[in-house]
Amino acid sequence: TTIALVTDCLFCRIVAGELPATVVRETDTTLAFRDINPKAEVHVLVVTKEHYVDIATLATADRELTSDLMETVAVVAESEGLLADGFRTIFNTGLYGGQEVDHVHAHVLGGEPVGPMVC
């Protein structure tokens, strides 16, 4: 199946292969790739191939796809060797959440202690 491309969206363009990314896992519905500006030893972004603006929109629109996204987070955490020492998953949402790319993505951060909860 072809997934509609939101042409102005950076992550849609990565999903479409129009922009390069270092992919660590791909499934039918999700893609995981390394953050271009890593904030930790391991910093992977996990996106749905289909465009949703944020996690709140996705989670209320498509439960199965939300689950696919979280499964990929878990599988990437395992394959990146993060399960023993732990890791952090972040969904920034909207202006106050500091979201810069308006295509839902989980940040998977680890490989070293990644600090306190806030900011």
105 is catalytic: yes
Structure token pair of residue 28: 């039918």
Q: Which is nearer to ligand 5GP, 1 or 100 (CB)?
A: 100
Q: Does 101 bind Zn ion (CB under 5 A)?
A: no
Least Å from the CB of residue 8 to Zn ion: 8
One residue of 24, 50, 87, 103 binding Zn ion per CB under 5 A: 103
Q: Which range of residues in 6-14, 25-33, 70-78, 107-115 is near Zn ion by CB under 5 A?
A: 6-14
Separation of alpha carbons 96 and 35, rounded Å: 21
Alpha helices in 16-52 (DSSP H): none
Nearer to Zn ion, 43 or 103 (CB): 103
| Residue 99 lies near ligand 5GP (rule: CB under 6 A) | yes
- Name the residue type at position 22: T
Positive or negative CA dihedral for 6, 20, 22, 37? negative
* Cβ proximity to ligand 5GP, 40 vs 77, nearer residue: 40
Classify the phi-psi angles of 46: left when phi > 0, otherwise alpha if psi is within -120 to 50, otherwise beta.
beta
Residues 6+ apart with CB under 8 A from 64: none
Rule CB under 6 A: choose which of 33, 48, 50, 109 binds ligand 5GP: 33
Smallest separation, CB 98 to Zn ion (Å): 18
